[in-house]
Structure 1
């Protein structure tokens, strides 16, 4: 009975701490589980299970006791898949596959996006533009749309990488369709509702912000920062920001009326939002992000720079406070780490670096202080899922579940 009670308690806690979409429940990198033990950093994680999967860069999501991930197999037929596993046992519950051809796609490893779990349905977008809506419990296909064939979307150099966003009765997709940077499909039927924005497809997941009492859909593309109406797709404002190779990847940060975007080649720009966007400051050489989305607290941004590692800087001024000199993730031409707030009130963050190490670190405006690090997976750029006291991480070969305390 005791084991059964503990299992039920775990499942209840896990469900209360789901990670159902890209970067968590709020799509903002906030985990903040309850009752973190004081000695958590010294406790070695316990591996619960691992499952063999195919390759891919897409993040892991978790909802209602199930873990979701996308992958790609090359043989006997080239396919992309959505896989669903039991969060407690690692048993594969279902999978759904569709044929693809990556052709000459760069970094042609596998899908790039995270599965979005909403109201019992799983929404997934493949690297070649196929979007599917599946029953999250059974894997049954509810609808499927090839955005290239149906909407005139054009596959970018590195494939579609923006995860689906659910807004009301719509699923929003940044696929650079003909006459629409973002398209909105009815989430129940897959029928097109609207399309909007002038840009072609980038690699950045759109986000909905609220400013001055109005909602805005921020879609950062290869040539513009775009603000659209989430309801109609109409353009509120656009700001030119043409990026070398079109690598608009990291999710923009919106806090205190300021919108921050940062790219590898042309650095960071901060905009003061009003009726439009006014450039507040820019730094083209010392604050250059790539794939890693930033964290924010009390006026300070924590973001991975391509040269200096994790940096802290003031959002209002761009003043750099410190850098970690590439100690938290290896220095590389394409550095990467996935950052989340673990205990935001106490400035504690967790990150999964490109070497597959889980690192606990305290972040303040004055310094960063590493608590501990543990090897939990092989090399990876994929965002893990944090739920309750567990982390689910993936590489190009396996999906692994760990109990952290």
Structure 2
């Protein structure tokens, strides 16, 4: 009897100890598969982890939880123990929620007034929050549609600071709202806002510099999100404005080089993609381009141009080939060296978010279809397809280990590979 009681008490002690353990610390975040920013760990939509199955049916991919939400285009942010999502409620209030990663149970919720009416030709894409937040393990940085950046405590949702860029910079409010997703680097946050590119102290919200200013209004709403890369030994911020692709000095905000990117109505939307010492981009109304950076990464030279046009979907690069969803809804494979298409498919939906692992690509079509593709430059190879949502799925897919986080227009779901 004593041994049974001792075992029971020992088990109870373990349960109590586990229950009292604190949430994972910032250092522990690195040991658990997370998705803390736009396009994942390296901002390039590539992930590591257990190999994905070759099928998407219920026997291989099961839904674990799903909760209803107001509309949003923000992709989910997945921390070690929680998921952060945004929504716009009643066309007037922006809401941020933290939910338990394993169950979807709400941990906290905060809100603030935030809404605009976008121009009529963009109405089909809605008047709700667009930017995907960023998380540093302690603080969550959320860009509201009215060009306001809010820093929240990730543990309880308490507001730490906020910056209204229209007031802080004197720029006209962006006609399409704030779309760019913030980038965290060390003690700083970078974002295209205030009709330009802004660097802020992430602890205080103080603006360090304001670069690439363009006056705001119709062309003040930059769509692309920046990345940081080292090219030819020079670490720099790569950013695509509505009119050009540029390299920017991190310390000063000085433009190191730039290249005009033709685009209809300034629809330069893709996140720039670095391939070796070259940068790839593609625009609506322009084409696809690869620029080599020379002279110590201070000059951009066009290596090639292809007539195919990207739109909103940023590509993934695998084994010397660019996999890109196009303006005409088709999917293309482009050879990095030559710029020639290896193949182009039939049309799909208007937008794909993609995540790559090895030679596999998971693509979430805005029509609610999830596709599993083998990256094969010889032919388009669709391994499986599953309709996963009757609601549009414009937000970026997030993949963390054996978990998939899918944000439909009016809900958030978590699936798990079996």
Between the aligned partners of 2:206 and 2:72, the Cα distance in structure 1 is 28
Please give the residue correspondences for 1:212-361 in structure 2 after superposition, counting only pairs within 5 Å.
Answer: 212-274=232-294, 275-283=298-306, 285=307, 287-307=308-328, 309-326=330-347, 329-330=348-349, 335-342=350-357, 344=358, 347-361=359-373
Pick from 377, 387, 391 the counterpart of residue 375 of structure 1.
387
Q: Does 1:169 align with 2:184?
A: no
Contact 2:139 2:153 in 1 (8 A): yes
Deviations 1:169-215 (A, max 9, x none): 110010144xxx21111000001111212444410001111111111
1:290 Cα offset (Å): 0.7
Q: Relative to structure 1, is the Cα distance of residues 340 and 38 closer, same or farther in structure 2, using a 3 angstrom cutoff?
A: closer
Please give the residue correspondences for 1:73-152 in structure 2 after superposition, counting only pairs within 5 Å.
Answer: 73-74=89-90, 78-105=92-119, 106=122, 107-152=125-170
Between the aligned partners of 2:133 and 2:160, the Cα distance in structure 1 is 15
CA RMSD of aligned residues (A): 2.3
Between the aligned partners of 2:193 and 2:77, the Cα distance in structure 1 is 21
1:404 Cα offset (Å): 2.1
Q: Relative to structure 1, is the Cα distance of residues 237 and 31 closer, same or farther in structure 2, using a 3 angstrom cutoff?
A: same
Q: Does 1:156 align with 2:180?
A: no
- More off after superposition, 59-68 vs 38-47: 38-47
Between the aligned partners of 1:80 and 1:268, the Cα distance in structure 2 is 35
Q: Relative to structure 1, is the Cα distance of residues 311 and 39 closer, same or farther in structure 2, using a 3 angstrom cutoff?
A: closer
Contact 1:222 1:242 in 2 (8 A): no
Q: What SS is found at the alignment partner of 1:148?
A: helix
Q: Which has the larger radius of gyration?
A: 2
Q: What SS is found at the alignment partner of 1:245?
A: helix
Between the aligned partners of 1:355 and 1:81, the Cα distance in structure 2 is 24
Between the aligned partners of 1:397 and 1:35, the Cα distance in structure 2 is 30
Q: What SS is found at the alignment partner of 1:160?
A: coil
1:336 Cα offset (Å): 0.4
Q: Relative to structure 1, is the Cα distance of residues 322 and 136 closer, same or farther in structure 2, using a 3 angstrom cutoff?
A: same
Contact 1:185 1:192 in 2 (8 A): yes
Pick from 390, 399, 402 the counterpart of residue 412 of structure 2.
399
Deviations 1:154-176 (A, max 9, x none): 34332211100011111001014
**What TM-score results when the alignment is normalised by the length of structure 2?**
0.86
Contact 1:55 1:73 in 2 (8 A): yes
Between the aligned partners of 2:58 and 2:411, the Cα distance in structure 1 is 26
Between the aligned partners of 1:307 and 1:24, the Cα distance in structure 2 is 26
Which residue in 1 is equivalent to 2:224? 204
Which residue in 2 is equivalent to 1:46? 62
Contact 1:14 1:388 in 2 (8 A): no
1:152 Cα offset (Å): 2.7
Q: What SS is found at the alignment partner of 2:166?
A: helix
Deviations 1:344-401 (A, max 9, x none): 1xx1111111121221110111112111122222221110221121111112211111
1:307 Cα offset (Å): 2.0
